A and B are shown apart, each in its own frame.
Chain A
Amino acid sequence: MFRVRSLTKLYGEGPTQVRALAGVDLDLYAGEFVVLLGPSGSGKTTLLNQLGGLDIPTTGEISYRDTDLTHADESALTRYRRNSVGFIFQFYNLIPSLTARENVGLITEIARDPLPPEQALAMVGLSARLDHFPAQLSGGEQQRVAIARAIAKRPEVLLCDEPTGALDVRTGIVVLEALERVNRELGTLTIVITHNAVMADMADRVIHFSDGRVLSEHRNATRVAPSTLRW
């Protein structure tokens, strides 16, 4: 689904130049659950930005199905994000003035073939909290609303940046279960960035990242249920 070749990304100029990506080659396939592991500063988030159409690479190429994301213009990138990508952020980024249902509804208003907000929220186990505002929800619940918001448009790819980073173990697991379920039931390519190696066990494929390049990758024979994970 994604084809990434010799991808580099440089920030800044001259002596202060930072090389965030130093030639990444990667293929990602439909329906996969991929965990991207690596220490801080290894370039994981930069890669995610490129995959999500938030940023364009310095050199190399990146394409999504038949779309060349390297040379897409602003409106093409917006269209891509709007129709194909679901984002999940470490800090949820819900709209505080909208309820859970409305936060999801915001997306279903603009998507081509959305899930009803209620159904999306049911998938993450929040049927009872539809009309609560973010301030009335726990961190885990807020992150699950964010997942519901991301999947409501039936995206083909779900990009998650440290989705459990701000949560305790118990709530983190509930969130991971929601992600796993979405991946299983909707067949969404799910890419999770984390520096928590434990989460590797629930993935189809684990990619280790270091110094802006892929260090190694391996495929798990079986996916472990999130409920058995502990960290």
Chain B
Amino acid sequence: MLAHLDRKLLRDLRRLKGQAAAVSLVMACGLAMLIMARSLIYSLESTRAEYYQTNHFADIGASLKRAPNYVSERIRSLPGVATVQTNLAVPITLDLLGRTEPASGLVRSLPDVGAPELNRLFLRRGRWLSPNSRGEILVSEAFAQANNLNPGDTLTALLNGRRQAFRIAGIVLSPEYIFESRPGAALPDARTFGIFWMPYKEVATAWDLYGAFNRVALTLAPGAHAQAVIADLDRLLRPYGGLGAMGREDHPSHIRITDEIRVLTILSIGFPVIFLGVAAFMTNAVLSRLLSLQREQIAILKAFGFTNYQIVIHYLKFAFVMVATGVLGGVIGGIGLGHQLVDMYQLFYRFPDLHFRLDPIAVGIALTVGLSAVTLGVLGAVRKAVQLPPAEAMRPEPPAHFRPAFIERIGLATFLSHSFRIALRNLERRPTQALFTITGLALATALMIMPNTFKAGISEVLDFQWDVVQRQDLNLVLVEPSSARLAHELAQLPGVMSLEPARNSAVRVHFQGRSRQIGLRSLLPGGRHSRAIDSAGHEIYAPPHGVILSAKLADVLGAKIGDTIMLEALEGRQPISPMPIVALAEDFTGIAAYMDLQAINRFLGEGDVITGASIGLDSAQRANFLAALKEIPRVSSVAIKETMRQSFRETTATSMGLLQSIYLTFAVIVAFGVIYNNARISLAERARELATLRVIGMTQREVGAILVVELAILSVLAVPLGLILGTSLTTLIVGSVNTETIRLPLVFTLYTYTYAIVVVLIASTLSALFVLRKLKQLDLIATLKAPE
């Protein structure tokens, strides 16, 4: 019995394939995004968890000035501590063949014999260090790739001022450096910063640290409380120059992945929901049109004794074919895009084996969500048809009731042409359908706002970071705090046009029971390089007393201007001192505090000391400068703005571009789908009316005008609504990207809005052209026949 109904289903589908395809496509976009994002979250989370477990990633880590090795026994005996691993971390400057700019990095020590208890490495290529080897080194994969280094290559480095050549034994990965960046830098720069591993004996000898350690990692015993252990550890390490212990949630690499997952989570909820909403609207539109055309068929089926249930199931099947196609497209699209994004993630996140893993739950969610979206869309339409008594349904539908449109009733009728009236009254008679179309179109418009705002935000962060806040060409960091006289020496290097000394320090800020470990950065009175900027874009000058906080930091601490925080130094004599908040700085990456350079020195109880400098460079002299710099042993690292910008463009910008273009493509597809679908439906619904107009002598153009006017009215109403909706939606989503790592500013540009409007215009024009072409094929003779 149902076999024939199914045949009818197939033929209906074939007839409505354009609309059905549009619905499936929109749904596929939403589901692809959902599956892609959820699967990426799943891939990142599960890969990270396995990596941490396999390679014994520590629960807590701490840096200190130096402590004798026996202190590790005392750490082990702290309550709640399970395993302890001590090691060394020292800065290194590299001299890479054929490269003028110096690269720098961090050398970590490995036990002379055997693997470390915690934070074990993963060997990607080459071999481990041979026992009691000298002159061998392991290199992090990101740095090796960026600099084209291979096992067996030689690397020249400055170790504590002594130049030495090393042979690369192997290329490795570490769970501590899944995200590898210069400490405090928001962006990766694998070309000029790397992590290296050498045997303890060799590192300790070169830096006069034999018998001591300056890093410690530990795991917690089951049931132990991390905060308590951190407090104990800080107390224990204080005499040894402890710089403050931190748990996994404060670990820079861990935070980066967690933040990435957080952003993905936001995107995996907000965006697909809108796509699926649009799909539901479209299903409803297609189905109610099909049902109104099949009014009599439904009546006949009922008259023959088919139950309402059978009829509802028949039309639900129609919708389910669209869902099935949509889900299939979504799964394929999600897997494809997911693979691409995983490849992109491999640029930033170094896992031994990061593969795309399809989240089976996401597919389940996709199916459920897709089904519910169309079921909702179908039920309303089917219910109406099923309620009809067969006898009534078999009569042709009486002419619909119309009345003058609102703007005619208020006396503007004389200005309207007949085609305009037809269009207006049609819209007004079916307000729900018009509202659905407007909503669908508005959502499609809204979707196009976010990706471009995302892009503009990123670009704003970079311009702000590199053109407004840091106007120097490069930053130098010294191996250790040095006399300010060194600044004069550095200023004599070739090409230095301006030099401003810097005194940066690791501190912890406390306010009403909350605290954060951050970098304290110096500001120079009248300085032209590093600056702090307030929310109005004005430069903030640091007074002799008081501290400027990142607005986000103040937010995290719950402090405001005028409050007094406790500033605790994590180095030197580690003074603690109350400090009033004098201003809030608007920064987008990381969180920090700023003080006058002299005020920092006073707070730390030091004389005229600097830890680095910012330099404005004559670009013509750049090579000379960098060559000369390599000879200054006290410089531990150099960050060149142009190099960072370049490397950012090649990596982050490209991948952000990928994500952005995926979203934008989807939004454009939806815009086309909605508009095309709407034009098709109004054409099909009114075929008889339009054919009549053609028969009584109107030209194709005149008849087309009616449809085009209708489409135009809908677009004119929907687009501004969509722009407003898109703005709020973007504010919500981009505003949620407000982590301590990065805060995206909301940058709504004319370009973003114009883009959305132009896409809707193009989609409308193409759909209108399509409809006009279809008008040619209108069956004029059918008007003479009885209505179907």
Give me the interface of A with B, judged by CB distance under 8 Å.
45, 48-49, 52, 54-55, 75, 78, 81-83, 85-87, 89-91, 93-98, 102, 105-107, 109-111, 133-136, 142, 149-150, 153, 161
Contacts and interface: CB of A to CB of B under 8 A. Distances in A.
A133 B402 contact: yes
B429 A97 contact: yes
Nearest to B784: A161
Given A90-B784, A110-B702, A97 B697 contact: no
B401 A93 contact: no
Which of A81, A150, A161 has the most B CB atoms < 10 Å from its CB? A81
A106 B699 CA distance: 13
Contact of B421 (A55, A90, A98, A136): A98
Given A105-B418, A106-B418, A95 B781 contact: no
Nearest to B787: A91
A96 B783 contact: no
A97 B699 CA distance: 19
B55 interface: no
A75 B693 contact: no
B400 A96 contact: yes
A152 to B, nearest CB: 10
Nearest to A55: B781
13 contacts: A54-B695, A54-B781, A54-B784, A78-B700, A81-B695, A82-B699, A86-B696, A95-B692, A97-B422, A106-B418, A133-B403, A150-B696, A153-B697
Minimum-distance CB pairs A-B, first 5? A82-B697, A97-B425, A93-B692, A81-B697, A134-B399
A109 B699 CA distance: 13
Which of B396, B399, B787 has the most A CB atoms < 10 Å from its CB? B399
Given A95-B689, A110-B698, 6 more contacts: A78-B700, A81-B696, A82-B697, A107-B697, A133-B401, A133-B403
A90 B787 CA distance: 10
Contacts of B38: none
B688 interface: yes
Contact of B689 (A78, A96, A111, A149): A96
Interface in B399-433: 399-403, 417-418, 421-422, 425-426, 429
Contacts of A52: 695
B93 to A, nearest CB: 80
Which of A45, A102, A153 has the most B CB atoms < 10 Å from its CB? A102
Nearest to B403: A133
Contacts of B131: none
Contacts of B786: 90-91
Which of A45, A94, A95, A98 has the most B CB atoms < 10 Å from its CB? A95
Contacts, number: 94
B398 interface: yes
Nearest to B400: A96
A77 to B, nearest CB: 10
Contacts of B693: 95, 106
Contact of B399 (A83, A87, A111, A135): A135
B698 A87 contact: no
A98 B697 contact: no
Nearest to B417: A109
Contacts of A153: 697
A135 B401 contact: yes
B427 to A, nearest CB: 10
Given A89-B783, A89-B784, A135-B401, A78 B697 contact: yes
A86 B699 CA distance: 15
Interface string B758-785: 0000000000000000000000110110
B697 A85 contact: yes
A109 B784 contact: no
Interface in B73-113: none
Contacts of A149: 696
B400 A135 contact: yes
Contact of A98 (B418, B688, B698, B699): B418
B275 to A, nearest CB: 33
A202 B695 CA distance: 27
B696 A95 contact: no
A95 B422 contact: yes
A97 B402 contact: yes
Contacts of A135: 398-402
B781 A49 contact: yes
B784 A49 contact: yes
A196 to B, nearest CB: 17
A96 B402 contact: yes
Contacts of A97: 400, 402, 421-422, 425-426, 429
A118 B204 CA distance: 107
A14 to B, nearest CB: 22
A63 to B, nearest CB: 19
Which of A78, A97, A105, A161 has the most B CB atoms < 10 Å from its CB? A97
Nearest to B689: A95
A179 to B, nearest CB: 17
A134 B401 CA distance: 8
Given A45-B784, A133-B401, A89 B418 contact: no
Nearest to B427: A97
B392 to A, nearest CB: 16
Interface string B547-571: 0000000000000000000000000
Nearest to A103: B418
Contacts of A105: 418
A56 B693 CA distance: 19
A100 to B, nearest CB: 12
Which of B402, B403, B429, B702 has the most A CB atoms < 10 Å from its CB? B402
A135 B696 CA distance: 21
Which of B426, B692, B693 has the most A CB atoms < 10 Å from its CB? B692
Which of B689, B781, B784 has the most A CB atoms < 10 Å from its CB? B784
B692 A83 contact: no
Interface in B569-618: none
A82 B398 CA distance: 28
A107 B696 CA distance: 8
A109 B418 contact: yes
Nearest to A107: B696
Nearest to B398: A135
Contacts of A82: 696-699
A85 B698 CA distance: 12
B697 A83 contact: yes
Contacts of A102: 418, 421
B399 A96 contact: yes
A87 B400 CA distance: 22
Interface in B139-178: none
Nearest to B688: A93
A48 B783 CA distance: 13
A113 to B, nearest CB: 14
Nearest to A54: B780
Nearest to A153: B697
Nearest to B419: A106
A98 B404 CA distance: 8
B401 A98 contact: no
A93 B702 contact: no
Given A94-B399, A102-B421, A134-B399, A89 B692 contact: yes
Contact of B422 (A78, A93, A98, A161): A98
B402 A78 contact: no
Contacts of A109: 417-418
Contacts of A107: 696-697
Contacts of A91: 396, 786-787
Contacts of A54: 695, 780-781, 784
Contacts of B402: 96-98, 133-135
A95 B696 CA distance: 12
